Amino acid sequence: MRGLLYLCCWLVISGEIYAQVPESRIINGTLASVADTKHMVSIRLKKNDRNFGSGHICGGSLIGPNKVLTAAHCLFNSSKKRYRKASEFVVVMGTLNRFERNNGTIVSEVSSIAYMNTFTTESMRDDVGVMFLRTGLPINSSHPTVAPIQLATEPTPSGVTCQVSGWGRTSQSSLSNVLLTANVTTIRHKTCSTIYLGSLLPGMLCAGQLKGGTDSCQGDSGGPLVYDGRVIGVVSWGYGCAEAGLPGVYADVHYYHQWIEERNGNSALTAPSLTHLLSLWFGCAFWLWLRRK
């Protein structure tokens, strides 16, 4: 409650100070270049993609020949309150225009998905997921417009300029047809905590421009925040888009890199923990003991 009050005050104050900033609208981005976005994928719902491109729901990053990093919330059907099946998705890479399908475009079915089972839509905690592609990048042959990107191996310093890309909203209502990129600056966790208070959890990373005007937005979720040629963040949430003083919030790839790397497509949704296995074992033992003759 107190958090909400602070947020309202902040909104009013920042609104006053920055009233001259143009209307919020990858808001304030520029056309992406193939060279900088070969890892970019469009995640679509098959049922809405009969008109190629119109099923786009989220972005993602190719992080292996057939492994895609995205946000857990992109895999979740919030109206049915359950995760979607892998078969509901189609992943498209190698085209800047989401409606265009050229020689280099790869369209793939999804064989399996994984997400952190601690993710919740209420808190947006642990908003990371991966998808495994049926038709990934052909191995041992270089592709002109598709290539994986590496994960961040070190924490990213604050105050550095990064790039966020996507086909998300450019204004209050519509998605972009072409891939856009914008420059945003990483913000100290401590500074961002004073903005979002209790909502900013460990594993979340803020980036934006405090004066507002430039940001990721709806439809960019799951997409990459890139610094120094590596993916450092996954578009997750924000309070509105591109509002002054309210940066975008990203899942911190470095924080989650072990979980991301450990997924391999063969495992169950999420690897069971030792405590799970132990309680399962004791449960079975107890059941057998109850049924003893």
- Pull the structure tokens for residue 137: 């990048």
Q: What is the DSSP letter of 140?
A: T
Q: Does 219 bind ligand ARG (CB under 6 A)?
A: yes
Strand-pair category, 230-237 with 150-151: parallel
Question: Are 167 and 127 in contact, with CB atoms under 8 Å apart?
Answer: no
Question: Of 238, 180, 160, 181, whose CA–CA distance to 204 is shortest?
Answer: 238
Question: Which of 53, 63, 114, 220 contacts ligand ARG by CB under 6 A?
Answer: 220
Question: Which of 93, 130, 195, 217 contacts ligand ARG by CB under 6 A?
Answer: 217
CB of 195 to ligand ARG, least distance (A): 12
Considering only residues 153 to 172 of the shown chain, the ones binding ligand ARG according to CB under 6 A are 168
Nearer to ligand ARG, 227 or 237 (CB): 237
Nearer to ligand ARG, 75 or 137 (CB): 75
Q: Does 216 bind ligand ARG (CB under 6 A)?
A: yes
Q: Does 55 bind ligand ARG (CB under 6 A)?
A: no
The span of 10-18, 40-48, 92-100, 218-226 binding ligand ARG (CB under 6 A) equals 218-226
Q: Does 215 bind ligand ARG (CB under 6 A)?
A: yes
Helices within the chain (DSSP H only) = 2-17, 189-196, 253-262, 274-290
Considering only residues 233 to 262 of the shown chain, the ones binding ligand ARG according to CB under 6 A are 235, 237-238, 241, 248
> What are the catalytic residues?
73, 127, 221
The span of 8-16, 17-25, 38-46, 219-227 binding ligand ARG (CB under 6 A) equals 219-227
Nearer to ligand ARG, 96 or 217 (CB): 217
Question: Which of 218, 257, 259, 269 contacts ligand ARG by CB under 6 A?
Answer: 218
Residue 93 identity: M
Question: Are 75 and 113 in contact, with CB atoms under 8 Å apart?
Answer: yes
Q: What is the DSSP letter of 220?
A: -
The helix (run of H) or strand (run of E) holding residue 106 is strand 106-115
CB of 220 to ligand ARG, least distance (A): 5
Identify each DSSP E strand in 20-66 by its residue range: 30-31, 40-45, 56-64
- Pull the structure tokens for residue 153: 């191996």
Question: Which of 14, 66, 95, 221 contacts ligand ARG by CB under 6 A?
Answer: 221
Give how far Cα 1 sits from Cα of 49, 174, 184, 237, Å.
41, 32, 30, 20
Kindly list the residues in this chain that would bind ligand ARG in the complex (CB under 6 A).
Answer: 168, 215-221, 235, 237-238, 241, 248
